[in-house]
Amino acid sequence: MKVNILFDIRDVPYGGGNQFLKALKKIFEEKKIYAHNVKDADVILFNSHHNIKDLLKIKNKYKDKLFVHRIDGPVFLYRGSKKAVDNIIYKTNSFIADGTIYQSNWSRLQNIKYGLNTNTYETIIYNAPDKNIFNTKNKSKNKSHKIRIIATSWSNNFKKGFKTYSWLDKNLDFNNVEFTFVGNSPISFKNINIKKPLKSKYLSKELKKNDIFITASEKDPCSNSLIEALSCRLPAIALLDGGHPEIIKGGGELFTKEEEIPELIDKISKNYEHYKKKILIKDIYQITNEYFIFFMKLYSDYGARKYIPKKLNILKTSWLRILLKCIEIKK
């Protein structure tokens, strides 16, 4: 069985989906189950609302291949926009996807709440970073009396936690704390040190210089930045929202109000080794295996004629062509 990922993977600092799919593709290639050409693939993995025009063309040409949908969102919750993009995701899932992969249980339940129909074959598989990059190798020890905190975000969407970071910039005791933000920020800071977006190997080094990771992103289905930090064994403090609780488990603390964060920083720093030991995060090899098992389940049932791949009905997808012309889909 061969897999093709229908996504424009970029080898530059980019969003979490790009980073995860790049790592996933790398392992598929190592295992020699990746097809660089669509026609040689048995399974097409497509991502959220991206590359929909190409997806339609491929589905029209290769109706008997299996199509698996990695779902994001709900998108409108973290973009603060209308549901047009989510409607495309939901319709595409109904008419094209033979199997659906959710990034967290929170994302699954929220998407169903807002109109997604469940699939015959579906599963929940979390994200994971490249194990050769995000790990505990060469992690520096803190020789300073200050607690070193880091937050990261490629996106400058205000819902990525910038209201909270702004509050922390004004209220943390910077005599005892160092705070670094890596990524794109829509606001400036007085005390927080901002660094531009970094490639994965450099971002990993930056994470390993720090003690605690903070994320205040809202409605985030499965934060790749949080998983990268936990993979480097940084205990985390995260907003009680989205998929954060499922990812952190005992490897950190959750907050509902900004005022709680200073106390949580103190709590983790005083029990640091305890929180490190509680970090339970799967690596990219384990996650790739879960993808492969799901693909094999679909493939074996199709081969045994227990399941017939969805046939694309052009009349039913005319809505999608109209939507694509009317709205701009941002990647």
Question: Residue 70 belongs to a domain with what CATH number?
Answer: 3.40.50
In a domain, 133, yes or no: no
> Do both 271 and 305 map to the same domain?
no
> Do both 89 and 174 map to the same domain?
no
> Do both 102 and 16 map to the same domain?
yes
> Do both 10 and 78 map to the same domain?
yes
- 115-124, 216-225, 285-294, 316-325: lowest mean pLDDT where? 316-325
Tell me the average pLDDT across 62-66: 92
**pLDDT tens digit string along 241-262?**
999 999 999 999 999 999 999 9
> Do both 298 and 268 map to the same domain?
no
Q: Is the pLDDT of residue 330 over 50?
A: no
| d(C-alpha 261, C-alpha 114), whole Å | 32
> Do both 258 and 306 map to the same domain?
no
Query: Residues 283-314, buried b or exposed e (16+ Cβ, 10 A)?
Result: bbeebbebbbebbeebbebbeeeebebbebee
In a domain, 21, yes or no: yes
Distance of CA 205 to the CA centre of its chain: 20
- Determine the structural domain holding residue 92 and report its residue range: 3-127+284-326
In a domain, 47, yes or no: yes
> Do both 171 and 216 map to the same domain?
yes
> Do both 289 and 263 map to the same domain?
no
Instruction: Please enumerate in sequence order all residues whose Cβ is within 8 A of that of 208, keeping only pairs 6 or more positions apart, or say none.
Output: 136, 138, 139, 140, 232
In a domain, 136, yes or no: no
> Do both 304 and 241 map to the same domain?
no
Nearest Cα neighbor of 46 from 31, 24, 27, 74 is: 24
Confidence label for 14 from pLDDT (cuts 50, 70 and 90): confident
> Do both 262 and 158 map to the same domain?
yes
In a domain, 142, yes or no: no
Residue type, 25: K
The per-residue pLDDT for 314 is: 59
User: Model-level pTM?
Assistant: 0.91
Confidence label for 142 from pLDDT (cuts 50, 70 and 90): confident
Q: Is the pLDDT of residue 320 over 80?
A: no
328 φ, ψ to 5°? -95, 125
In a domain, 137, yes or no: no
> Do both 100 and 72 map to the same domain?
yes
Question: Domains in the chain: how many in total?
Answer: 2
Q: Would you say 226 and 238 are in contact if contact means Cβ atoms under 8 Å apart? A: yes
Residue 183 maps to which CATH number? 3.40.50.2000
Paired sense of beta strands 122-124 and 236-239, if any:
unpaired
In a domain, 138, yes or no: no
Q: Is the pLDDT of residue 325 over 60?
A: no
Q: Among residues of the chain, what percentage have pLDDT more than 70?
A: 94
Nearest Cα neighbor of 287 from 25, 5, 2, 6 is: 25
- Identify the domain boundary among 240, 257, 278: 278
Q: Is the pLDDT of residue 151 over 90?
A: yes
SS3 string, the chain, reads CCEEEECCCCCCCCCHHHHHHHHHHHHHHHCCCECCCHHHCCEEEEECCCCHHHHHHHHHHCCCCEEEEEECCCHHHHHCCCCHHHHHHHHHHHHCCCEEEECCHHHHHHHHHCCCCCCCCEEECCCCCCCCCCCCCCCCCCCCCCEEEEEEECCCCHHHCHHHHHHHHHHCCCCCEEEEEEECCCCCCCCCEEECCCCHHHHHHHHHCCCEEEECCCCCCCCHHHHHHHHCCCCEEEECCCCHHHHHCCCEEEECCHHHHHHHHHHHHHCHHHHHHHCCCCCHHHHHHHHHHHHHHHHHHHHCCCCCCCCCCCCCCHHHHHHHHHCCCCC
Confidence label for 328 from pLDDT (cuts 50, 70 and 90): very low
Tell me the average pLDDT across 53-68: 92
> Do both 194 and 308 map to the same domain?
no
In a domain, 22, yes or no: yes
Q: Is the pLDDT of residue 295 over 50?
A: yes
Residue type, 324: L
Tell me the average pLDDT across 160-189: 97
The per-residue pLDDT for 329 is: 44
Q: Is 38 exposed, middle or buried (0-12, 13-18, 19+ CB in 10 A)?
A: middle
**pLDDT tens digit string along 108-127?**
999 999 999 999 999 999 99
